[in-house]
Amino acid sequence: MSRLRNDTFLRALLREPTEHTPIWLMRQAGRYLPEYCETRRRAGSFMDLCKNPALACEVTLQPLARYNLDAAILFSDILTVPDAMGLGLYFTEGEGPRFERPLRDEWEIRNLSVPDPHAELQYVMNAVAEIRRALDDSVPLIGFSGSPWTLACYMVEGASSSDYRKIKTLAYSRPDLLHHILSVTSDAVVAYLNAQIESGVQAVMVFDSWGGVLSEDAYRTFSLPYLQRVVEGLTRERDGQRVPNIVFTKGGGLWLEAIAGIGCDAVGLDWTMDIGRARELVGERVALQGNLDPNVLFAPPEAIATEARKVLDAYGPHAGHVFNLGHGISQHTPPEAVSVLVDTVHAHSRKLRGGV
């Protein structure tokens, strides 16, 4: 049995009955919170914040001090893995993440190797251990990584992209080189997530943020098989407890049934698909996470509550739903909007299950 005082999130991922629908938010520790901005200012830079276990712990816990959330998520970045591979991650104000040494030449690609998560990424493991101590078994801690395809996008493009021209050119002109990047990166993601599990995270999520930019054939060639490889390599149990996993492809509704077939415990949905229809398609195979449009949180409180109830009603009073946004929360979100959302999800889902 779980020692957690609130294990609703973990039980929902395993499609077990819960008294209410658990809720957490992608990017829940972030710039929409003034206390986060203050901690980041003290840290000096985003990477300094990520690499300081005490400060990473502080910002991980900040949203839980404000809201009755059912899970915490490790504060880190999806690009720590390629940074540990030697690509030189840095952040420029207003421009997002960039790499000093993106993959351009064949020899650089052939030289890629899997970093030791207990060496180059030990700061992440130290943060996990510190956060678990601070949480004191109140709610579960989620670990995460970017997917092999999404990490490869950044590694080849060197930054975020509007058209993904460089990596798509590589995919269609030298698929052998892209498969090599994806293969090494898959092994790196598995090692990284398993090290997080060993350090104390109780569930893991794989963010395939850019999977939706691919054609159907390309998704099934360059993203889905590597997601499956990651899922198959994950540690599934620690200290007698299941460690569930979530796979989220933004824009992946077209491939929902295929994603549900790779062996994951839960599939994350963006806001473009009706979650009730999604549940009909996957049946009892996986739990579903999602899927409110993040921009709903800019609406008045009554509209936020209405839209949240629509998502809950669409899924129905069934096991296996974790409420979340369909993507990360915007930095411009009013903090009080999140209170409305969390309280509505808990109250309405209890009613759906016949509670008070």
Which amino acids are annotated catalytic? 27, 31, 40, 77, 154
* Cα→Cα distances 96→85, 91, 160, 326, Å: 19, 6, 8, 20
Q: How many residues are there in the chain?
A: 356
Query: Which has the closest alpha carbon to 59: 32, 93, 98?
Result: 32
| Cα separation, 330 vs 294, whole angstroms | 7
| Cα separation, 110 vs 2, whole angstroms | 44
- Give how far the C-alpha of residue 179 lies from the chain's centroid of Cα atoms, to the nearest Å: 23
